[in-house]
Amino acid sequence: MKSVIFVLGSLAFLAISTGCNKNTGEDDLIVPANYDDSNFERNTIIEEALRSQLSAFAKKAREGRTTGLIVDAGELAALFTSGTPSLRDITTNYYAGRVDEWIIELNKARGNIYSIECRDGEGGVIGGYLMDENGLELMQMVDKGLYGAAMFNHAVGLTEGGNITPAIVDQMVKIFGAHPDFPNTNNRLTAANPDKFLANYTARRDKNDGQGLYTQIKTAFITLQAALQAGDQFNEERDAALEDVMELWEKANAATIINYCHQTVDKLSETNLSDDQIGSGLHAYSEAVAFLHGWRTIPANHKMITDAEIELLLIKLNAPYDNDATSYKLATEAVTELPKVQQVIEDLQAIYGFTDQEIEDFKQNWVLAQGR
């Protein structure tokens, strides 16, 4: 009768039991309080390079927010395709093709001024954000969409062979955006190795009460590593921990979509919106679209949400995967369009089984609210 024993400092307690015998023994998996970082840097050289490439790619795309500044499509394309493997190499085939398209569209929009009422150009900057002619912020599509289409997809590729090793767990932690410290914050003033990428957004959704998504995925990563280090007799625990990691990763992404849907409704519900308010609202909305869209065509056996559900949600968000977006309507026809964004929140709650309290909590950036 196996048990999983979690060790917190000098305190050990029984967390999971596969039988009724609660006495610990040689069949128990002992899970330490901390992640073993002995070989982390050596094992994650490729993932560090991929993280740096995405950061550079997003930084270059973000330059388009400055009115009059030219963002060259060739430079963006080079940042997407350079390296072995490149960012493009780890991206789903579907999304890589879309990124190629969005790079061209982003290049067309740069340097212009965007008007929500007059959309006969190629898009431009409004309220400090670069939109295409339909009001979708393409910088988010080529950045946050890759958190799923590239980074989670890379994790899927690492696990698909079935031969999971401690080195692969290190690589998954790295591409998730975390560090063995698991600081639960992106604050460089309080953490030596702050969270980045989706780990950063997972920390934002965690109330730091020991029950949140960040704490859960940290525990799952440590358990996965411990099971692998302990040997084949703990393959059942290994498989359960790996499943937990992947599901929590996806739930953190969904929680972030919900957060940005909340922001979209709040920001665009105001009357007589200024350009700054429109830009901020469409920015939040575009984040939600990107975090969602990036999961389309992730293999079905590696995610909870289906492509059909993603496609329906994108339609409700006025950003269908196979047609032009009508994002601007969220600002020009808010009375009829914003309720659909609220419906997306409800749909995601049903898909992932979030409680009403979790949906409410996802409104917050808890790292900022708690000053951690």
Provide the number of structural domains found in the chain.
Answer: 2
pLDDT tens-digit readout, 2-41: 667 766 553 344 454 433 333 445 689 999 999 999 999 9
**Domain region containing 62:** 37-372
Q: What is the mean pLDDT of the chain?
A: 92
**Same domain membership, residue 42 and residue 16:** no
Residue 253: pLDDT band by 50, 70, 90 thresholds? very high
Short-list 90, 83, 91, CA closest to 56:
83
Position 239 pLDDT exceeds 50: yes
**Same domain membership, residue 134 and residue 17:** no
Higher-pLDDT residue of 202 and 70 is 202
E-assigned strand segments in the chain: 3-8, 11-17, 29-31, 124-126, 129-131
pLDDT tens-digit readout, 146-180: 999 999 999 999 999 888 999 999 999 999 999 99
Give me the mean pLDDT over the 265-269 stretch.
Answer: 97
Contact between 89 and 99 (Cβ < 8 Å): no
pLDDT tens-digit readout, 63-84: 888 766 778 899 999 999 999 9
Give the dihedral sign, CA 224/247/255/201.
Answer: positive
**Same domain membership, residue 15 and residue 151:** no
Q: What percent of the chain has pLDDT over 90?
A: 84
**Same domain membership, residue 116 and residue 83:** yes
**Same domain membership, residue 129 and residue 24:** no
Contact between 142 and 106 (Cβ < 8 Å): yes
**Same domain membership, residue 295 and residue 210:** yes
Give me the mean pLDDT over the 42-52 stretch.
Answer: 98
State the distance between the two ends of the chain, measured CA to CA, in whole angstroms: 41
**Same domain membership, residue 147 and residue 263:** yes
Beta bridge partners of 7: 12
Task: Kindly compute the dihedral angle of the four CA atoms of residues 173, 259, 311, 285, in this order, to the nearest 10 degrees.
Answer: -120
Which pLDDT belongs to residue 6? Answer: 67
**Same domain membership, residue 260 and residue 210:** yes
**Same domain membership, residue 206 and residue 126:** yes
**Same domain membership, residue 78 and residue 2:** no
Position 53 pLDDT exceeds 90: yes
- Residue 211, token pair as written in the block: 């029950």
- Residue 142, token pair as written in the block: 């080529």
pLDDT tens-digit readout, 93-148: 999 999 999 999 988 887 788 988 877 778 899 999 999 999 999 999 999 999 99
**Same domain membership, residue 246 and residue 150:** yes
Which pLDDT belongs to residue 22? Answer: 36
**Same domain membership, residue 132 and residue 14:** no
